[in-house]
């Protein structure tokens, strides 16, 4: 007798306000389940959840900013207006949705809640403006956190990240054109081949490597290891290309095609790969190459500082064949850098008990406080002679409230 046995496997999914359980059955408990002992039926059900509104941020767009000229991005210390679009992707409607932007995650002094009103399930997104000051370091992230309520019902919070500053990418190449001699059953000359990288700004987001005129009579003998200045090690190729005599230019890129193990190598872009050799699965690299295990992906270099000495170790691990990398090798980097608006410091002015209290951030130590009696006319701005007091993270100056005065900070 042939029996099929299995445990109680159950799966469950949720989409658009509907719960979908899935389960198997090999019993004869239903009229349409044939041959329960030897066959399996898969069952599913749809269970609507009534009135379950569910929200997501469809988009967040900067509609006003104090950076001059505007750069279309949040900047540290900048007062901005961000239009936030919400969509109800659940199965229930809301009738009077109130949304508050919380003062957390880099959001400072947000304005009051916004009324989104009625939003039906599946309706187009609804947009409202929010005003706040962005806080954080250039290149960081401000996390918008929205608290949602409809009368007494809470719909929790939703979040949306926005980057501080404009993100730019910069590509640059570096080369060592000296040939690398691939000695038979031995280390290459030189071992390693060195390449100096300097002047790169911003962390690496992508690295590609090119071997120019790789020549060999049995490429599968050749192991190529790349080591960064920080010590990350990636095996670019090992046991690839079989025994085909080649003269090719190889570029290694994580988005490239898989390296062939038996077919001949071509002049194209390959993804790095440490292929398995049944006779030598470890592929140890001789000293001074670092010990493994090695990363199989160039993404190991992402986020690192590329400046310094890169090392390319080439090793022929079997006898009978040799070759060279006649044109040397090169590295291409794509680095990301965020550029932010140089925001002027914010001047805060309050009055109490017949005095004017003027304050500004302590980070603006190279600014001078000036005043004059009227904004219009040709009268000059005059330096305020009184010295401010440093209180916490602000400079504070208290002056008598006599007559009309206007103040500004000048660098």
**pLDDT tens for residues 96-151?**
999 999 999 999 999 999 999 999 998 999 999 999 999 988 888 999 999 999 98
Q: Determine the pLDDT at residue 132.
A: 95
The vertex-229 CA angle with 231 and 174, nearest 5°, equals 135
For residues 146-162, give the mean pLDDT: 91
Separation of alpha carbons 382 and 403, rounded Å: 15
Handedness of CA 273, 279, 281, 285 (dihedral sign): negative
For residues 205-218, give the mean pLDDT: 95
Q: Give the rounded distance of the alpha carbon of 237 from its chain centre.
A: 28
For residues 59-76, give the mean pLDDT: 91
Separation of alpha carbons 283 and 277, rounded Å: 8
Domains and CATH numbers, the chain: 11-48 (no CATH), 55-164 (2.60.40.10), 174-338 (2.60.120), 348-410 (no CATH)
Q: Determine the pLDDT at residue 337.
A: 78
Query: Residue 325 is encoded by which pair of tokens?
Result: 């990398």
Q: Determine the pLDDT at residue 345.
A: 77
Q: Determine the pLDDT at residue 334.
A: 84
For residues 202-227, give the mean pLDDT: 93
The answer to whether the beta carbons of residues 210 and 329 sit under 8 Å apart is yes
- The answer to whether residue 160 scores a pLDDT higher than 90 is yes
List, for residues 376-392, the tens digit of each pLDDT value: 666 788 899 888 998 88
Q: Determine the pLDDT at residue 6.
A: 52
Total Cβ atoms within 10 A of residue 8: 6
Quick one: three-class SS letters along 51-116? CCCCEEEEEEEEEEECCCCCCCCECCCCEEEEEEEEEECCCCCEEEEEEEECCCCCEECCCCCEEE
What is this structure's pTM? 0.53
Q: Which whole-number Å values give the CA distances from 297 to 209, 260, 264, 294, in the listed order? A: 12, 16, 22, 9
The set of residues, in sequence order, having a beta carbon less than 8 Å from that of 135 and lying 6+ positions away, is 76, 77, 106, 107, 108, 142
The answer to whether the beta carbons of residues 210 and 250 sit under 8 Å apart is yes
pLDDT band at 203 (very low <50, low <70, confident <90, very high): confident
Quick one: three-class SS letters along 292-341? CCCECCHHHHCCCCCCEEEEEEEEECCCCCCEEECCCEEEEEEEEEEECC
Beta bridge partners of residue 41, listed in sequence order: 25
- The answer to whether residue 279 scores a pLDDT higher than 60 is no
Of 119-128, 159-168, 192-201, 359-368, which range is least confident? 359-368
- The answer to whether residue 217 scores a pLDDT higher than 80 is yes
pLDDT band at 330 (very low <50, low <70, confident <90, very high): very high
pLDDT band at 46 (very low <50, low <70, confident <90, very high): low
3-state helix, strand, coil in the chain (%, to 5): 0, 50, 50
Q: Which whole-number Å values give the CA distances from 8 to 5, 43, 189, 289, 292, in the listed order? A: 10, 13, 61, 51, 42
The set of residues, in sequence order, having a beta carbon less than 8 Å from that of 257 and lying 6+ positions away, is 268, 269, 270, 271
Separation of alpha carbons 187 and 287, rounded Å: 10
Give exposure, 377-405, as e/b (b: 16+ Cβ within 10 Å).
eeeeeeebeeebeeeeebbebebeeeeee
Q: Determine the pLDDT at residue 1.
A: 41
* Mean pLDDT over each residue of the chain, to the nearest integer: 86
Q: Determine the pLDDT at residue 173.
A: 93
Q: Of 368, 302, 360, 288, nearest to 336 (Cα)?
A: 302
Q: Determine the pLDDT at residue 180.
A: 98
For residues 241-267, give the mean pLDDT: 94
Separation of alpha carbons 299 and 270, rounded Å: 14
Separation of alpha carbons 183 and 219, rounded Å: 12
């Amino acid at each position: 007798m042939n029996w099929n046995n299995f445990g109680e496997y159950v799966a469950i999914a949720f989409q658009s306000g509907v719960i979908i359980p899935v389960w198997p059955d090999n019993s004869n408990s239903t009229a349409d389940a044939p041959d329960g002992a030897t066959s399996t039926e898969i069952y599913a059900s749809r269970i609507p959840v009534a009135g379950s509104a569910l929200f997501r941020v469809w988009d967040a767009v900067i509609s006003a900013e104090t950076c001059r000229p505007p750069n279309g991005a949040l900047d540290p210390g900048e007062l901005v207006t961000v239009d936030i679009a919400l969509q109800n992707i659940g199965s229930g409607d809301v009738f009077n949705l109130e949304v508050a932007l919380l003062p957390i995650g880099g959001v400072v002094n947000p304005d009051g809640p916004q009324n989104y009103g009625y939003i039906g399930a599946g309706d187009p997104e609804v947009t409202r403006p929010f005003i706040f000051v962005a806080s954080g370091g250039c290149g960081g992230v401000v996390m918008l956190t929205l608290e949602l309520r409809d009368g007494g019902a809470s719909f929790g919070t939703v979040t949306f990240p926005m980057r501080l500053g404009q993100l730019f990418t910069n590509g640059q190449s570096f080369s060592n054109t000296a040939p690398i001699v691939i000695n038979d059953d031995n280390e290459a000359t030189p071992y390693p081949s060195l390449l100096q990288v300097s002047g790169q700004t911003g962390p690496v987001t992508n690295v590609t490597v090119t071997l120019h005129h790789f020549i060999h009579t049995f490429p599968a003998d050749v192991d190529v290891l790349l080591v960064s200045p920080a010590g990350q090690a990636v095996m670019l190729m090992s046991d690839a290309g079989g025994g085909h005599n080649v003269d090719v230019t190889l570029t290694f890129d994580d988005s490239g095609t898989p390296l062939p193990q038996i077919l001949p190598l071509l002049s194209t872009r390959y993804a790095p790969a440490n292929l398995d050799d049944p006779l030598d699965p470890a592929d140890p690299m001789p000293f001074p190459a670092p010990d493994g295990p090695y990363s199989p992906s160039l993404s190991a270099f992402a986020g690192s500082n590329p400046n310094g000495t890169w090392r390319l170790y080439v090793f022929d691990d079997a006898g009978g064949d040799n070759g060279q990398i006649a044109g040397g090798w090169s590295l291409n980097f794509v680095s990301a850098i965020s550029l932010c608006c140089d925001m002027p410091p914010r001047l805060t002015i309050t009055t109490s008990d017949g005095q004017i209290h003027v304050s500004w951030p302590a980070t603006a130590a190279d600014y001078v406080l000036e005043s004059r009696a009227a904004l219009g006319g040709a009268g000059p701005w005059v330096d305020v002679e009184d010295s401010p007091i440093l209180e916490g993270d602000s400079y504070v100056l208290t002056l008598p409230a006599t007559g009309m005065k206007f103040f500004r900070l000048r660098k």
